[in-house]
Amino acid sequence: MSKTFLIDTTRCTACRGCQLACKEWYELPANKTFQTGTHQNPPDLNPNNYKLVRFSEHLIGDKVEWYFFPDQCRHCLNPPCQGAADTLIEGAVIQDEATGAVIFTEKSAKLSKDDFEYVRESCPYNIPRRDEKSGRMVKCVMCIDRVQAGMVPACVKVCPTGTMNFGERDEMLALAEKRLAKVRETHPDAMLADPYDVNVIYLLGDKPERYHEHSVASATPMNRKNLFATVRSAVG
């Protein structure tokens, strides 16, 4: 049984503690950023941000509503990125059996820029990024060093609102269903994002496209690359 996150976005205040905790734990340097007219900062996931709290605002009726989405790798049960990478270099992407964590290894530095694009396009959630200095592919690693030492991931540890939850998969699925039932009392469109495909389950209080274009896999049209990678990963 793998480890699973439940990210209950209905509780997120966008304090960005999780984003900073991730940077601190992995000693990721700051980015030079600019005001782009939004509180979201930096503008996108990048080699120095494995986690990014996304901000979206929508005019609904006569009210402006904020939607917060703490984005990270979903640690897919059958990772398309691994299926795609295996066609290029075996072992560039691995999955830890005990936790389900999907890890990009040092071998990923041997992938060319075109190879990296191929792997990135296989991801239904647009997660992989390339560190141009080392050539390595990078993303959230489920804090596997902490988890193997019996600790929870840094982003879960610091979250002050109960948005970030982590534990055994069956426990997190049960918690997700329980919270969904409660949230639906006031938010009828609430849903769980791809709960049976991933180990990072989001509880959304509204339609997925209001949060982020890649909040659910179905928001991404299945192209030839991720279809091939998914099939290969499932049979391999």
> Rule CB under 6 A: which residues touch ligand SF4?
12-18, 21-22, 25, 50-51, 53, 70, 72-76, 79-81, 102, 123, 125, 127-128, 139-143, 153-155, 158-159, 161, 163-164
52, 19 contact by CB (below 8 A): yes
- We find the least distance from the C-beta atom of residue 75 to ligand SF4, in angstroms, to be 5
The DSSP bridge partners found for residue 55 are 68
Question: How many whole angstroms separate alpha carbon 68 and alpha carbon 190?
Answer: 14
Partner residues linked to 66 by β-bridges:
57
Nearest distance from C-beta of residue 191 to ligand SF4, angstroms = 18
CB of 202 to ligand SF4, least distance (A): 11
CB of 16 to ligand SF4, least distance (A): 5
* Residue 106 beta carbon to ligand SF4: minimum distance, rounded to whole angstroms: 17
SS (H, E, C) 40-79: CCCCCCECCECCEEEEEEEEECCEEEEEEEEECCCCECCC
Q: How far is CA 27 from the centre of its chain?
A: 19
Q: Please name the residues in contact with 148: beta carbons below 8 A apart, sequence gap of 6 or more.
A: 98, 99
Which is closer to ligand SF4, CB of 62 or CB of 117? 117
CA atoms within a 13 Å half-sphere pointing along the CA-CB vector of 229: 25
Closest CB to ligand SF4 among residues 81, 92: 81
DSSP string of 108-132? Answer: GGGS-HHHHHHHHHH-TT---EE-T
- Residue 83 Cβ vs ligand SF4, minimum distance, rounded to whole Å: 9
CB of 199 to ligand SF4, least distance (A): 9
Of 154 and 192, which has the nearer Cβ to ligand SF4? 154
Identify which of residues 75 and 136 has a Cβ nearer to ligand SF4 in the complex. Answer: 75
Nearer Cβ to ligand SF4 (51/130) = 51
Nearer to ligand SF4, 62 or 211 (CB): 211
* H or E stretch covering 5: strand 3-8
Cβ closer to ligand SF4: 62 or 114? 114
Long-range contacts of 183-186 (CB under 8 A, 24+ apart): 183/10
Rounded to 10 degrees, what is the CA torsion of 30, 76, 236, 222? -90
